[in-house]
A and B are shown apart, each in its own frame.
Chain A
Amino acid sequence: DAGVIQSPRHEVTEMGQEVTLRCKPISGHDYLFWYRQTMMRGLELLIYFNNNVPIDDSGMPEDRFSAKMPNASFSTLKIQPSEPRDSAVYFCASSWGADTQYFGPGTRLTVL
């Protein structure tokens, strides 16, 4: 049974470029979460969805960040334009009922 799938695993881009991170949650899960991990801030919750609807996006750092969940099996996190301080590992997680979350392998983003 596949876990949470994220793509790409690594992304290197230049400042000002648009970056799109993708996530496929575990089938049947009704919650999806986007996190960012940095040395300074640890694991930060950016946004989460319940049944494809955004519930809390208070962790999204700026308007440059946006997330969508067009259906139950796909979500994207977009950064436009990207900046060097956005460099981090971005995790997607999913759960049934907002309890135990299952994380994807993460996308390591480097913005030059």
Chain B
Amino acid sequence: DQQVKQNSPSLSVQEGRISILNCDYTNSMFDYFLWYKKYPAEGPTFLISISSIKDKNEDGRFTVFLNKSAKHLSLHIVPSQPGDSAVYFCAAREVGRALTFGSGTRLQVQP
């Protein structure tokens, strides 16, 4: 039973445009959400997070939106750059438990 789902395995965007990566979850006990970025042959690196008491968190070109009623979060990258090409994982935490990761979305930013 996948509690965190990333339904788009891949996404292709033109450089300079907006990239929107989506993530859905089913567990209403999740209270903290994160996005990780992974390049080939490297471990995932933390990108941005959001607490369940907020609906938006912004860090430079990256913004995470949380819609608790829809159990949906999204990562917006504006403007997208070729260096953003990577696999993006969303993750969620229930208090006292380890993170649960989605299956990842491969983003390709075309120059």
**A residues lining the B interface (CB < 8 Å):** 4, 31, 33, 42-43, 45, 48, 55-56, 91, 93, 98-106
Contact = CB atoms under 8 A, between A and B. Distances in A.
Contacts of B102: 42
B81 interface: no
A48 B49 CA distance: 21
Interface of B: 32, 34, 36, 41-46, 49, 89, 93, 96-104
Contacts of B43: 4, 91, 93, 103-106
22 contacts: A31-B98, A33-B98, A42-B101, A42-B102, A42-B104, A43-B44, A43-B101, A43-B103, A45-B101, A56-B97, A93-B43, A98-B96, A98-B98, A99-B49, A100-B49, A101-B46, A102-B46, A103-B36, A104-B43, A106-B41, A106-B42, A106-B43
Determine the main DSSP class of A at the interface with B: strand
A38 to B, nearest CB: 11
